[in-house]
Amino acid sequence: MVLAIADLFRSQWTAGSRTPKLQFPSVFRRNILMSSRSLQIIVLSVIASYSSTSLLPAADWTQFRGPGSSAVGTAENLPNSWDATKNIAWKTTLPGLGTSSPIILNDRIYVTCYSGYAATAENPGDMQKLMRHVVCLDRKTGKQIWSKEFKPELPESAYRRGNDGWHGYSSSTPATDGKHLYVFFGKSGVYCLDLEGKQVWRSTVGTGTRGWGSASSLLLHKNLVIVNASVESQALVAFDKTTGKEVWGVTGIRGCWNSPVMVTLADGKSELVLSIPQKILAFDPATGKELWDCDGIPDRGYICPTVVTHEGIVYAIGGRSNTALAVRAGG
């Protein structure tokens, strides 16, 4: 089993229209069956090849779902199909498995993974050997520039076969403001690194675990790093980007396995939106003050999908309840 990363940056805009097509997020990982048991990262020629006049260089992709958490790219004339050999620019070995998305800044790719435990369902091994990694790659060649190891706070959620174990221990996509990297490793905390992998600060958000692990991705807003720590402490927390000190925290975030999203209103103001069981919540991103709430997905257990926003409308779905809704932000 080889874990591959495909960075499509497919244009999701209909020609001559401002209406986005409904497509899957353009940065994601997929499992591809191959004879090799080595772990590799595969990046399409769209981000690595600049020689073809039919391709435009892809823009930076600095967080989960890219700019505005929208999963919308602006590049054109890109490949719409690929496999183990077709439209592949390069492959490179990673230290381990992972289900986070890669992010891109200038000529570098940053991605997380884990090793030492739960590499296979048949023989997950010893949790004491679990190690997390942040890896930096050259965008054009795939050559590893640096790799850093992060020993987790144990015990983590124990690996179990089936649904509980699919995504492993490296599922939160990192984020960057162009000066630093911000990485979330669940109960092990939020890390701030410089672009060479040196740790600047680390802050914890709680010690809770779940059988499904932790997968919420970080959101950067002005001077803040915002994290949904529903698994770890049933809280939504904002840290100062420079110091790692907590700026504000909101409790009562139960059963929320998705990532926070920023919504820009017509007047230029921003609201922080999160989908929790039975409610959509909106907060002032500067203070954490709740601005409004409304009826949400009617699931009393948990909500996994992260909301999508477009022109001030918040779109939410809930798979277990077969529900979709749209809410105009702003209260």
The pLDDT of residue 107: 96
Between residues 5 and 274, which one has the greater pLDDT? 274
Spatial contact of 38 and 93, defined as CB atoms under 8 Å apart: yes
Query: Could you count the other beta carbons within 10 Å of the beta carbon of residue 259?
Result: 25
Between CA 286 and CA 266 the distance in angstroms is 18
Residues 168-182 have a mean pLDDT of 96
Q: Please report which confidence band the pLDDT of residue 25 belongs to, taking 50, 70 and 90 as the band edges.
A: very low
% of the chain exceeding 70 in pLDDT: 82
The pLDDT of residue 167: 80
The pLDDT of residue 320: 82
Partners of 325 in beta bridges: 316
Please determine, for residue 9, whether its predicted confidence score (pLDDT) is greater than 60. Answer: no
Spatial contact of 10 and 44, defined as CB atoms under 8 Å apart: no
The pLDDT of residue 164: 63
Q: What CATH architecture applies to the domain 256-331?
A: Beta Barrel (2.40)
Partners of 41 in beta bridges: 92
Between CA 162 and CA 142 the distance in angstroms is 32
How many residues in total does the chain contain?
331
pTM (two decimals): 0.85
Please determine, for residue 298, whether its predicted confidence score (pLDDT) is greater than 70. Answer: yes
Please determine, for residue 18, whether its predicted confidence score (pLDDT) is greater than 60. Answer: no
Residue 63 has, within 13 A of its CA and on its CB side, a CA count of 23
Spatial contact of 258 and 302, defined as CB atoms under 8 Å apart: no
Residue 217: name the closest of 208, 233, 229, 203 by CA: 229
Residue range(s) occupied by CATH 2.40.10 in the chain: 256-331
Query: Could you count the other beta carbons within 10 Å of the beta carbon of residue 35?
Result: 5
The pLDDT of residue 11: 30
Q: Which H or E run includes 293?
A: strand 290-295
Cis amide leading into 260 (omega within 30): no
User: Tens digit of pLDDT for each residue in 43-99?
Assistant: 544 444 433 333 334 589 999 999 888 888 887 888 889 888 889 989 999 999 999
- CB neighbour class for 19 (10 Å; exposed up to 12, middle 13-18, buried from 19): exposed
The pLDDT of residue 40: 52
% of the chain exceeding 90 in pLDDT: 66
Spatial contact of 119 and 97, defined as CB atoms under 8 Å apart: yes
Which residue bears the tokens 């823009």?
A: 59
| Contacts (Cβ under 8 Å, ≥6 apart) of 18 | none
User: Tens digit of pLDDT for each residue in 107-165?
Assistant: 999 999 999 999 888 889 999 999 999 999 999 999 999 999 999 999 998 888 776 66
User: Tens digit of pLDDT for each residue in 302-328?
Assistant: 999 999 999 999 999 997 878 999 999
| Integer CA distances (angstroms), 174 to 109, 135, 249, 288, in order | 11, 11, 20, 22
Report the mean per-residue pLDDT for the chain. 84
